Each structure stands twice: as C-alpha cells, then as structure tokens.
Structure 1
C-alpha cells in the first residue's frame, strides 16, 4: 500500500512538473517608446519617423535589471532599433528606452524615398552618415539579434539596412557594435569587409564565444542566412573571415511554413547557433541549423577560430550531422543551458519551444516540447538563457506582420520566461 502511494505521488509530481508553462512577463499590442517629450513624439508621428504599426519586436537578451529588445527596420517609421525595459518593471506593456541613446537610434531621413543620408542634408548637425561614413560609431541603424556576454558586453549585429520590406536602403555597411554595459559606452564598431559578404548576404544573428577568464580573446560567429555562410570575428585580432559549408544551406524539402493562419515558403539558410558546454580542454561544440530545415549540425569551435583551417576544403569533414527535429520542426533561435546540458530551440510551426539533452541521440523521441500556445507563442522568434537559469522567449507573429496585417486591438508581441529545471520536468530533457 505504501509503495502504491509513493508511486501515485511520483506520477502526480511528474504530471504537475510537465504542466509547468512559461509565464508571461510583458506583452504589447503596439510598441511605444520613452520619448523625450510629447512634442517629440507628435513631431515623429507627423514626419512619419514613427509609424506604430511598423515597429515589431524581434530579438532580446538580459543583463542584470535590463531586458534588451530589438526592433528591426522592416518598414519605414521605426523609432528606435535597439532598446531596453527594466526587468523589475511591474507594467504589463512598458515603454521601450532607446539604447545607448535616442540620438544613436534616430534616422531623420525618410529612407523609403531613397535618400542617401540621415538627417536630410549631409551637413546637418543631426546627420549620422556623411559620404557613406557614420559620424557616430555607436549609431544603430537596424538590428535583429544581440548577445550579452559573460564580460558585461553587449554585442549588436547591425545590418545597416532600413525599410527592408519597402524600398530597402543600405544606410551603413553591416557591422558588429560592442558596448560596455557597466559604463554604457562604445567599445568598438567593426565593419565587415567585402570578402565577408556573399551574394544575397544577410547578417542578422550573433553568437559570442568567450574562453573562461579571457574576455580579450572572444570570438563572434555571425550566420549569413541569405548567403549560406558564417562569418567569424576575432576580437583580439580585430579581424574576420568567411566560412563556407554545404550544411549552411536550407533544406528544399522543409521550406514550407504555416504560422498564425499564414502559409509561406522561405529559403533561409544557417541562422540558429548555440555553444555547447566547454570540454576539459576548453573547446566547445558549436551547434547550428538553417531556418528552412529540421536538421541540426555541429562543428568544434577551434575549427571556426582557425582561419586557415576554417576556410580550407580540408575542414569539410570537421562538420557533423547531429540529428533531425522531425516533421514541422523548423526553428529560429537556440541556446544551451550548461548546468543541465539541455539545448532549447523555438518551434515556429508548432507555436512552441522544444528541448534536447545534449548527451542523448538527437531524434524526435529524445526531444521534448516544453511549452506550446497558439495565442502566446505565435512565431517564437528569439530565446535566451540568463545567469539565474531563466529561459526567456520573445514571440512576435512575424509572418502576419510581413504578409497580412497585425490587429492593433490584440496583443501581438510577448516576452515569456520560466525556470529551466521547471520547464524540463517530465520531458525527455529532464
């Protein structure tokens, strides 16, 4: 009888644990900002520098009490591309504060009309670009993904491209912009070279690999979803190189998506990337996948970090197929929680978030769905894991934004969070 009661208690605990869901932290119908004044807001609306429905949340990361959020310039009228809100905010829909400043995020010209400069005239005091050069290296034109590293630095992948879905304008070259979060000052802006870019290149994500206690020896891996490559950047040498491989391409059998009532086809290549646990020698596995694919691949980080080897055909067999997420398993972002060795990834066709324990085979039987919600998780776009073992998710209904129109009376953008150990309880990742 006692064993029967213990068994009941065990199954009850598993049932409760597996029912744990992500909790909603913030939500927005439309994006609003912490304007310097009401007059500044009205002036921006009048000048169409702020068109509320064109501002879509996309990427996130956390540092102490600041939750950084990106708003790419998909369309004209995006007020600020890099922003933050306070994690401790009790407001359900807090206003976004531009980072590092309003000035760094302000594009005065209407780029949809094809003007070459920011701020109208090239000699205007507020102009950010003159003769193709940024006047202020801390300027952020348009960013999709960001990452906070263990050295209190914010790495921003600035595409430099505005009005992407309208009349695209390359206002500045793609660049990595790195900030010191303890002082909120610019550390460096690194502009990618022409040899880093391929045909149809689109650099939108960044993964930062920092050896323990070696902040000066960091590497950044920047997937090129449109050009099917990866650009590696060495912080120490302030140098970058482009890496090619067949595994960076999309899967032609898995480019069909159905999200939020929208059917569409994408050909996006390598996009999601995550770092595995450090080995005893200090090396790490770099996991990666194409967005239009259900397969996961990997390569040792020391391969990418060695320019000679990484760019040689001899490196072809250094790459491995990890496994397949199964039908409708396409994913955008991914991140690995080192303490549990669990890889989390979005499941855009399933309105959910999946997981896999990295010491198991990678197949549908060994993967779990930690949460799925047809309202709160319509197109989970980005995810991060903070130092307190919280998983953060941003969902934004991107396909509806791109191909139809978002309803301003509904909550379109959400940020959710949950404790890693609670979320994996009762799943194959436990």
Structure 2
C-alpha cells in the first residue's frame, strides 16, 4: 500500500474510532428505574393482630394478590403513587391504594384509598365503597378516575361504575353507574382515557372513553350531560391467531378486546385522535375524538360509522396491553411476547423503522406491562411510569413464588428514553382505513 492510501486508511480508522467514542459518550441511557417492587402485596393494617385475623378468616390471602395499574399524582414537591389490586378472587382486602414508604419483609405497604371503610363489604356493592378497581387515570384537573367493575371469582357481582375523586381533598366527586342500555351481557370495562376538552367551568367539558374487553366495544361518557353511549366497530375485536400467548415460558389462551387506549396531545387547531387496540391482536387503530363525542351518530346503531375508524397496515409481531402518548405525540407500549417496551411517533407510520423503536429490553423486569402512564413531574419533565405484573402466572393458574420479585413499578425520563431514536423524528403520516384488516 503506498503512503497516500495508508494515510487515507489511517484517517478512516481514526474517524470510526472518534465517531464511536462520541456516540458512546452521548448515547442516552434507556433505563427504567425501579421505584417499588414486591414479592407479594402487603397492606397497611393497624396491627399485626388485625392482619393475622384477616388471613385466618380468608379476607386477606397473602401471596395471591396481583396489582394491575398505577398512576402518580404530583402536588408541589411531593408525589403519590396509586395502585389497583382488582378482586379477581376472594381474599383481596384492598382494591385501590397508595404506595407508602414503609415496608414489610421488603415489600412496600399499600394504604387503602381513600380509607379502609371504602373497601369493606365489597360483595354488598356499597354506595360509598369500591367493589373492584380495575384501571385508573389522573387528569390535568387533579381528578382520579376509577373503573369499578365489581368482579369476584370472575363473576360480575356489582354494576360497573365510574368513580371520580378530587385529589386535593380526597373526596368523591362523581359516582356514575353504567346503564344496561350501553352494556352487553358479557361486558367488562377494562381501561379508560380521559379527554378534558377544556378546563373552564371546573373541567365539566370532559369525556371518558372506556374499552370493553369482552364486549368488543367502546363506551363514551359525557361528564357535562352525565350520559354514556356505546360505540362498536370490527377493529375492536381480537384476532383468533393472536389468542395464544407465550410469555417467559408460560403459554395461555385469551381472546381479549380493547385494552390499549391513548390520546394524542390536546393542541389548538389539531383534531385529537384516540388510539386503541385489542390486546389479542397485532394492529393499532385510531379515530378522531370529535366523532366519538357526537352521540347522535351512534344513538340508533353503535355500528353506524365504520368509515371513521382507521387501522395501520403494518402490524406487531406480538400482543400488546396498555399504552400511553406523551405531549409530543410519542406512544409507549409493551410487546408482551418479546418482553420489550417500544415507542412510536404517531405522526409517522406504525411499525416502520423511521418512526418506531425499542426503548427498553429486559426479560426479567418487563414481563407483562399492564400499567403504562405518562406523567409530568414537579419540574415540568415528562416521565414514563410502568407497572409490570407477571400476569401470565394468573392466566395459567400458576402460583407466584413469593421468594422472587413478582411486581414492579418503574419510571424513566421520557427525553432520555427516546433521545436519538426514530421516535423523535416526525415522518409523513401513514393514515389508512384498510377495509380488510383481518386479511394478510
């Protein structure tokens, strides 16, 4: 090799080394920091005697309770983490609580919210009580919204209700019982997103969109009118080929409808979109919220407007549960079979390398991310909160090993997660309305 070629080769190698060093130095850390973790859920009993009495009576079956969802409330410099523990079987004394800074055998203690009295006599469907909190969300008006579905041993014992608490006072603001006219015989309201159209007049101009995981429909609730209606479309159904799950060596079969739901940012001049997907499916769908808020479209026929629903042509390779969208329009969601967390720029094309990326990958800590939330902390920075539940053990009827960590709540700075990924770069919209979404 002559001297000229040697110099070119040396310069090229130096460029590669320097580029690698620069990339390594500035490469963002994509860690989800564990805030709380449990081998089993513990509750805030007044004494060990009371706790043991509840265990002896079967009111508290320790080691069998599974958390499902979480959200965080920032007030000044303090934060409060809420968690749901649905009553999927007997022996769950508390179904909605606050994670305290105290522990028992290393497990964070959960205090009942708003008080113990709200969790007693759940089988009797008390007016001032919570039968079974499934999922929750905290809105920008400092309100905690709760789906109270009321199942026990997989049987609906109490009417499905929407509960709303004022987090500044911890008082109940609203109790709304869904009428039979919007529910089906097998309805199970599993998830919700809150659309605050504007914050005037005590945030009364608010709509809630709820996913019916077994009825394969949405329910829309209008706070100002205190009314609800059903919306149905075939995009809300599961896919038969995606009913078989394989997660960390556990295989089970579930044909679940809508679980993932999220809203694009509320920006002036931009129509807001609701994204959603059936858990047992490979697709992502969306609809303009202005259509959903128009009750007259669906009054006589919940299936009246198939043309308003859109489905991306590209699909996931595995099922997905919960999802959330940040104020920049970036979606975050779990890939159940892959045991990863992905992001998607909603201005781009779904499952395209130019707008989708993997941002977290841990086969141990990321098993079954059932709770996914975006929150803004006291410094104005966005955070991604994720609760992982290892729910595959529930689906297969396998007991949890209480000597292992089974449940985690994790958090990460959104900017660190997506910095340098394709999710940060807007691409032309890939909006489609594929009429044959069940076809390859």
What SS does structure 2 have at the residue aligned with 1:253?
A: helix
Q: Deviations over 1:274-303 (max 9, x none)?
A: 001234336310000000011000000011
**Any conservation in 1 of the 2:287–2:310 contact (CA below 8 Å)?**
yes
Distance between the aligned counterparts of 1:171 and 1:49, measured in 2? 17
Choose the corresponding residue for 2:108, options 94, 101, 106.
94
Distance between the aligned counterparts of 1:324 and 1:46, measured in 2? 53
Partner of 1:24: 34
The answer to whether the aligner puts 1:423 opposite 2:417 as a matched pair is yes
Q: How many residues align?
A: 397
Partner of 1:42: 52
**Any conservation in 2 of the 1:323–1:363 contact (CA below 8 Å)?**
no
What SS does structure 1 have at the residue aligned with 2:54?
A: helix
What SS does structure 2 have at the residue aligned with 1:406?
A: coil
**Any conservation in 2 of the 1:211–1:282 contact (CA below 8 Å)?**
no
Partner of 1:402: 395
What SS does structure 1 have at the residue aligned with 2:297?
A: helix
Distance between the aligned counterparts of 1:42 and 1:314, measured in 2? 55
Partner of 1:294: 282
The answer to whether the aligner puts 1:210 opposite 2:201 as a matched pair is no
Offset at residue 198 of structure 1 (A):
1.2
Choose the corresponding residue for 2:235, options 241, 247, 250.
247
The answer to whether the aligner puts 1:257 opposite 2:245 as a matched pair is yes
Distance between the aligned counterparts of 2:351 and 2:340, measured in 1? 17
What SS does structure 1 have at the residue aligned with 2:108?
A: coil
**Any conservation in 1 of the 2:324–2:372 contact (CA below 8 Å)?**
yes
The alignment yields a C-alpha RMSD, in angstroms, of: 2.0
Q: Deviations over 1:124-161 (max 9, x none)?
A: xxxxx3xxxx4433x11112210001000000000011
Distance between the aligned counterparts of 2:102 and 2:255, measured in 1? 39
What SS does structure 2 have at the residue aligned with 1:349?
A: coil
Partner of 2:433: none
Partner of 1:280: 268
Note closer, same or farther for the CA distance 1:90–1:32 as it changes in structure 2 (3 Å cut).
closer
Offset at residue 23 of structure 1 (A):
1.1
Choose the corresponding residue for 1:391, options 384, 388, 399.
384
What SS does structure 1 have at the residue aligned with 2:241?
A: coil
What SS does structure 2 have at the residue aligned with 1:46?
A: helix
Q: Deviations over 1:378-420 (max 9, x none)?
A: 1111110111311011111111133111111100001111001
**Any conservation in 1 of the 2:199–2:205 contact (CA below 8 Å)?**
no
Runs of at least 5 residues in structure 1 that lack an aligned partner in the other structure: 109-117, 119-128
Distance between the aligned counterparts of 1:282 and 1:100, measured in 2? 37
Partner of 2:63: 53
What SS does structure 2 have at the residue aligned with 1:418?
A: strand
Distance between the aligned counterparts of 1:58 and 1:414, measured in 2? 11
**Any conservation in 1 of the 2:71–2:373 contact (CA below 8 Å)?**
yes
Write the mapping of 1:229-378 to structure 2, written as runs, cut at 5 A: 229-281=217-269, 283-311=271-299, 312=301, 313-328=303-318, 330-338=319-327, 340-365=328-353, 366-378=355-367
Distance between the aligned counterparts of 1:249 and 1:79, measured in 2? 33
| 286-295 or 305-314, larger mean C-alpha shift | 305-314
Partner of 2:84: 70
Partner of 1:107: 121
Distance between the aligned counterparts of 1:255 and 1:364, measured in 2? 24
Offset at residue 324 of structure 1 (A):
3.3
What SS does structure 2 have at the residue aligned with 1:42?
A: helix
Offset at residue 8 of structure 1 (A):
3.5
The answer to whether the aligner puts 1:179 opposite 2:165 as a matched pair is yes
Choose the corresponding residue for 1:161, options 146, 151, 159.
151
**Any conservation in 2 of the 1:326–1:364 contact (CA below 8 Å)?**
no
**Any conservation in 2 of the 1:158–1:177 contact (CA below 8 Å)?**
yes
The answer to whether the aligner puts 1:198 opposite 2:210 as a matched pair is no
